[in-house]
């Protein structure tokens, strides 16, 4: 979804990306790879993670606080990189955006899945909050009403990724348990509905098998960002290398360590900020 009324963004401003913690760094990485000339301001709400088990009302309140902070950084585009926030708070963010375009991983992933499936059968895996919201099914059906959508929560994946066990035998065993329904439901497209899950892509591709296509919402939303910036003449024009800034609500050192793993590159200093309601 894109909100485009109000304040006019400028092309050399940064892109704002936010998540409940470190998972949205997969989106940041995809944006860096797709749009290497763009600067990024990233916020991870590490003091209040995980969002997947919180109420919709609480998630909306947190999303509003983060949106206000990023708008203060004068970003030209907002990307909701947290599936739990995108599921229940996308309208809240768009309502506060004041003319800044807003994209989210659910809409981008849903559109990609609707275009990709051939058997018209899609599975979505994510957090409990994302699955319970039904947001992926609604968005997929908005693009392709005839597609059957199956969704289930995979809560163990997040801690396994943050532990660094992205290709561990334990993680593969867990994945085989979680993905067992793929065969019985004749699914041909699997949406990775949590921003941690792209780090498991090689393992999930192996477990799901060659007949199941994986939809990485991080890649999909990065492509959507490139399209929106080009359409609105907001691509960065400066020749100098972009400067990225990373903010968290707690524990910058731990975030820094995990972020370098997620981004596969060295990171500048991470700053802690206290959000105001």
Active site residues: 82, 194
- Evaluated on CA atoms 228, 40, 220, 35, the torsion sign reads positive
Among the listed residues 270, 138, 100, 264, the one whose alpha carbon sits nearest the alpha carbon of residue 198: 264
User: Sheet holding 102-104: strands in order across?
Assistant: 102-104, 77-80, 15-19, 40-44, 245-248, 270-272
Q: How many CB atoms lie within 10 A of CB 253?
A: 10
Q: Which residues contact 199 (CB under 8 A, 6 or more apart)?
A: 26, 161, 166, 262
Please state the separation of Cα 203 from the chain's center in Å: 19
């Amino acid at each position: 979804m894109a909100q485009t009324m109000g304040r006019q963004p400028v092309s050399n401003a940064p892109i704002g990306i936010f998540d409940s913690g470190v998972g949205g760094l997969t989106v940041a990485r995809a944006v860096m790879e797709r749009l290497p000339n763009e600067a990024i301001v990233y916020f991870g709400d590490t003091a209040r993670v995980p969002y997947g088990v919180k109420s919709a009302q609480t998630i909306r309140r947190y999303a509003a606080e983060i949106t206000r902070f990023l708008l203060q950084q004068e970003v030209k585009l907002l990307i909701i990189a947290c599936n739990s926030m995108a599921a229940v708070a996308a309208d809240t963010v768009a309502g506060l955006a004041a003319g800044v375009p807003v994209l989210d991983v659910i809409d981008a992933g849903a559109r990609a899945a609707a275009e990709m499936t051939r058997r018209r059968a899609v599975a979505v895996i994510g957090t409990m909050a994302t699955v319970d919201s039904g947001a992926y099914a609604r968005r997929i059906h908005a693009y392709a009403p005839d597609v059957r959508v199956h969704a289930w929560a995979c809560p163990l994946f997040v801690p396994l990724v943050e532990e660094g066990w992205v290709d561990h035998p334990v993680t593969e065993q867990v994945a085989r348990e979680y993905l067992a329904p793929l065969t019985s439901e004749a699914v041909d497209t699997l949406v990775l509905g949590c921003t941690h899950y792209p780090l498991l892509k090689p393992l999930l591709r192996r477990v799901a098998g060659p007949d199941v296509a994986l939809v990485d919402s991080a890649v999909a939303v990065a492509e959507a960002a490139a399209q929106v910036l080009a359409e609105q003449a907001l691509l960065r024009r400066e020749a100098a290398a972009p400067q990225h800034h990373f903010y968290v609500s707690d524990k910058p050192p731990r975030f820094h360590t995990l972020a370098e793993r997620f981004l596969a590159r060295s990171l500048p200093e991470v700053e802690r900020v206290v959000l105001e309601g």
